[in-house]
Amino acid sequence: MKQRKVPIRKCIACGNTQDKRELFRIVRSPEGEVSLDPTGKKNGRGAYLSKDKACIEKARKKNLLAKHLNVDVDERIFIEMLSLIGEETNGEQQ
């Protein structure tokens, strides 16, 4: 039986290694801009997070993305990830 090789990456929140497709890639561009990278092809320093509410919330509360990417991470990134997995944020709506 042939096994397909899939890229495996590690979630910065739970530390589990997962199929890359099951993770969000968040990238810091050379200009210092942080964005989600749905294609996995953007240049820059990347961090991976499970497509899971618990991991996203953990990263948000503990500021893991900012630590990992060594740059301030806008709250919008987390809101965007939560909305992509179909979760509402607990944050106050403006």
Name the residues that contact Zn ion, by CB under 5 A. Answer: 11, 13-14, 50, 55
Shortest distance, CB of residue 25 to Zn ion, whole angstroms?
13
Shortest distance, CB of residue 14 to Zn ion, whole angstroms?
3
Distance between CA atoms of 42 and 87, rounded to whole angstroms? 25
Q: Which is nearer to Zn ion, 13 or 27 (CB)?
A: 13
Q: Encode 3-58 in three state secondary structure.
A: CCCCCEEECCCCCCEEEHHHEEEEEECCCCCEEECCCCCCCCEEEEEECCHHHHHH
Q: Which is nearer to Zn ion, 55 or 66 (CB)?
A: 55
Q: Which is nearer to Zn ion, 34 or 50 (CB)?
A: 50
Shortest distance, CB of residue 42 to Zn ion, whole angstroms?
21
